[in-house]
């Protein structure tokens, strides 16, 4: 049996589920898009091609090989987007929690059944349909569990609101010894520059004490100030609206020293190197057109 262990975002990675771009299906119809950025590219005729996305994911996989990380891939479902494995489940400590994902995406969890079969069944948690969360909204840091949510009364009007307060309270119950802190995120179904789809689209810790952050991604300035106080101003790399749109905060840590980043993120990558990180740059700009990047494509199972 596999012994799951994920305590934070940056400890040395040993095993991960990496999404897959094969048989991704045709460009979706506009009315079937889940997020404003995909809509934008469908309208403009610039939606990413399968061959380019397969190429980008191979580059990511090569980095994992370089660092001897055990990589699991989903089984391929015909004509189905299976890139963003972060959304379908997530590990906290030694427990895997299945997400209640958008109904159109429910098949994605079936495609990793071969992985779930290696986990002690008592360590897999499922919830009721009224509790919504996706892994992009859940982040571990020291004794904290950070959770992105949307507190507006119009939650159900936003296909971009993926984690509700019922989910926050559910996590609080399961992990009473953790500090569970939720963040109210800015949402838009139509404007990708005004939409923090998940918490990792406007914030992510790196290393032992630093983080990337987009202040305007938070609906309540007190939520931003909470992170400012926790990390300290000198440890935060602030990104602009355009950099959030390009997904600067959605890099992925293989360890507290090694970060996989997009090759075009010049300003961020320079800062990371100046802080002493090793930056593994790969092409991922085509996948980014679907409002997801490196963290979104991964589901860590074991970190040291």
Q: What is the pLDDT of residue 107?
A: 87
| Domains of the chain with bracketed CATH | 13-303 (3.75.10.10)
Q: What is the pLDDT of residue 184?
A: 93
d(CA 215, CA 213): 6
The first and second tokens of residue 294, run together, are 């490196």
d(CA 117, CA 114): 5
Distance of CA 117 to the CA centre of its chain: 23
Let me know if 157 is exposed, middle or buried by CB neighbors in 10 A (0-12, 13-18, 19+). Answer: exposed
Measure the CA angle with vertex 31, ends 26 and 37; round to 5°: 75
Q: What is the pLDDT of residue 177?
A: 97
- Are 222 and 264 in contact by the 8 Å Cβ rule? The answer is no
Q: What is the pLDDT of residue 160?
A: 73
What are the average pLDDT values for consecutive 10-residue runs of the chain, which has 304 residues? 97 98 89 82 91 97 98 95 94 95 81 97 94 94 95 81 91 97 88 83 97 96 98 98 94 98 98 98 94 94 98
Q: Is the dihedral of CA 92, 98, 224, 259 positive or negative?
A: positive
How far is the CA of 182 from the CAs of 115, 145, 154, 258, in angstroms? 29, 8, 18, 27
How far is the CA of 20 from the CAs of 17, 65, 77, 82, 172, in angstroms? 9, 16, 10, 5, 32
Q: What is the pLDDT of residue 25?
A: 84
Give residue for tokens 């996948």: 287
Q: What is the pLDDT of residue 30?
A: 84
Number of neighbours of residue 7 by Cβ within 10 angstroms:
16
The first and second tokens of residue 30, run together, are 């506009």
DSSP structure class, residue 74: P
In sequence order, what are the residues at sequence separation of 6 or more whose Cβ sits closer than 8 angstroms to the Cβ of residue 48? 41, 286, 287, 289, 290
Q: What is the pLDDT of residue 187?
A: 84
Q: How does pLDDT run across 76-131, given as a tens digit for each residue? A: 999 989 999 999 999 999 999 999 877 777 789 999 999 999 999 999 999 998 99
Number of neighbours of residue 178 by Cβ within 10 angstroms:
16
Kind of pairing between the strands at 203-206 and 179-184 = unpaired
């Amino acid at each position: 049996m596999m012994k799951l262990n994920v305590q934070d975002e940056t400890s040395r990675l040993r095993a991960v589920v990496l999404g897959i771009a094969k048989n991704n299906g045709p460009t979706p119809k506009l009315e079937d898009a889940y997020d404003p950025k995909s809509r934008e590219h469908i309208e403009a005729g610039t939606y990413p091609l399968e061959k380019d996305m397969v190429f980008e994911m191979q580059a990511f996989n090569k980095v994992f090989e370089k660092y001897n990380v055990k990589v699991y891939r989903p089984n391929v479902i015909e004509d189905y987007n299976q890139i963003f494995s972060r959304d379908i489940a997530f590990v906290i400590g030694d427990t895997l929690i299945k997400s209640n994902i958008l109904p159109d995406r429910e098949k994605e969890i079936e495609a990793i059944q071969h992985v779930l079969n290696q986990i002690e069944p008592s360590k897999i948690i499922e919830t009721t349909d009224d509790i919504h969360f996706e892994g992009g909204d859940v982040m571990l840091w020291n004794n904290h569990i950070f959770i992105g949510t949307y507190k507006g009364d119009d939650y159900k009007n936003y296909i971009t609101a993926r984690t509700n307060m019922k989910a926050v309270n559910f996590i609080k119950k399961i992990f009473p010894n953790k500090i569970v802190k939720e963040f109210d995120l800015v949402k838009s179904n139509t404007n990708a520059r005004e939409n923090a789809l998940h918490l990792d689209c406007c914030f992510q810790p790196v290393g032992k004490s630093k983080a990337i952050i987009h202040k305007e991604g938070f609906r309540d300035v007190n939520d931003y100030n909470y992170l400012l106080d926790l990390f300290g101003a000198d440890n935060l790399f602030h990104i602009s609206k355009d950099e959030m749109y390009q997904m600067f905060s959605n890099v992925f840590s293989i360890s507290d020293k090694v970060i996989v980043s997009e090759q075009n993120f010049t300003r961020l990558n320079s800062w990371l190197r100046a802080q002493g990180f090793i930056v593994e740059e790969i092409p991922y700009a085509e996948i980014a057109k679907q409002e997801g990047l490196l963290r979104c494509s991964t589901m860590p199972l074991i970190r040291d």
